Structure 1
Amino acid sequence: MEDIVILDTGCANLTSIKVAIEKLGYYPFITSEPSIVINSKKIFLPGVGTAAAVMKILSKKKLINIIQDFKRPVLGICLGMQLFCDFSEEGNGVKTIGIIKSSVLRLKTNNLPLPHIGWNQVLFNKSYPLFKHIPNNSRFYFVHSYIVPINKYTLSTTNYDINFSSVIQKNNFFGVQFHPEKSGHIGAQLLKNFLEM
């Protein structure tokens, strides 16, 4: 059985996520085959590119309902986290997976460059299993132009002229706005924590 699945969303960063997970001693499988996805123990939903393009792929592969009904841990990375919301302002507006009642908004800053690219601090107020052995205010690597506003599912916040959700969780759905696979040993620890849940 393919226990750990990285959903093949047609993105460019699938290999770097796969390599980061393999370094932790796990053997993930990149696929969009519904019968494999439905039986997996953990799902990674990566995202690079546009919400519309990834939603189109998920819809074509008949994966949207499978994700919505999945009862084991799912980790959305970057755009993957944003897709957990029900709507994105991207383009002319995109209906997304709808696990979390929130819209994804365009990141607006007064004078900071966009997209938000680089290392930034992640501030969390409570200890969660996902943050085990990760000091508060640790720095992770970000690349994004859209944000999930702070809401009741926000576990951590990051500031880039404004505060936004950098980690969210609802039940078995976890989302990180940063790229753990590009965030050195701290990112590796977060992936390890998720894999050990």
Structure 2
Amino acid sequence: MKLAIIKYNAGNIRSVLNALERLGAEAEVTDEPEALRRADKVIFPGVGEASTAMASLRQNGLDGVLRSLTQPVLGICVGMQLLCAHSEENDTEALGIVPVRVRRFLPADALLKVPQVGWNRLFNLRSPLFAGIDEGSYVYNVHSYYAEDSPYTIAHCEYGLTYAAAVHKDNFYGVQFHTEKSAATGDRIIQNFLQL
């Protein structure tokens, strides 16, 4: 299986590669359109700020390439947010693949700090992406923005409100949390993605 990781001006690429190595998988890190189109699966990682990341994708023509992909694609953290229509982070028009808005956490509870950093529980799991994952399993989060709940939501988390911890539309999957830092649960989710 050919596995590609999108190379752009955002990402947690080393950690994703390490997670894949733990699972015995190798990936090519690339910003070449044809390499991405040829891949059997594509991972779209992200750590950073939405508008800068989108600008990098546009500059390299990867926004159009991403929209055209027909194989399974997994967006992680900012990668998931960029699959959505719009982010409140610097008023960013994103890829529009999943017609959902990304909002900033504005918790009424002063004990809830922004960004959300740390472990949180998944619930309402509704996808083969979560095969073998128990309701209430913990995943690791670092984010100030969240995708609104919608018909595309395939898992939830709670942080002052219920939000989409994961989304799915057609061949595109997105997870808000960091699979590559979510221990055995994250590894199983990556493995499930590789088996889709």
On whether the aligned pair clears a TM of 0.5, the verdict is yes
Counterpart check, 1:193 vs 2:192? yes
The aligned runs of 1:38-77 (5 Å cut-off) are 38-77=37-76
Which residue in the other structure is 1:120 paired with?
120
> Aligned-pair distance for 1:22?
1.5
What is the match of residue 89 of structure 1? Answer: 88
Instruction: State how far apart, in whole Å, the 2-side matches of 1:12 and 1:115 are.
Output: 18
Preserved CA contact (<8 Å) 2:140 2:181: yes
Deviation, structure 1 residue 88 = 0.8
Q: Which residue of 2 aligns with 1:165?
A: 164
Determine the structure 2 residue equivalent to 1:140: 139
Kindly, what percent of the aligned residue pairs are identical? 36
Q: Deviations over 1:170-195 (max 9, x none)?
A: 01100000001000011000000001
Contact 2:125–2:156 (CA<8 Å) still a contact in 1? no
Which segments of structure 1 move beyond 4 Å, counting only runs of 4 or more? none
In 2: Cα distance, 1:71 partner to 1:78 partner? 21
Tell me, yes or no, if the aligned pair for 1:119 and 1:142 is still in contact at 8 Å: yes
Aligned residues: 194
The residue type equivalent to 1:46 in the other structure is: P
3-state DSSP class of the match of 1:114? coil
Deviation (angstroms), 1:158: 0.5
Name 1:26's counterpart in structure 2.
25
> Secondary structure at the residue paired with 2:26?
coil
Partners of 1:162 and 1:89 in 2: CA distance: 17
Instruction: Tell me the residue number matched to 2:175.
Output: 176
Q: Output the amino acid matched with 2:78.
A: L
Unpaired stretches in structure 2, ≥5 consecutive residues: none
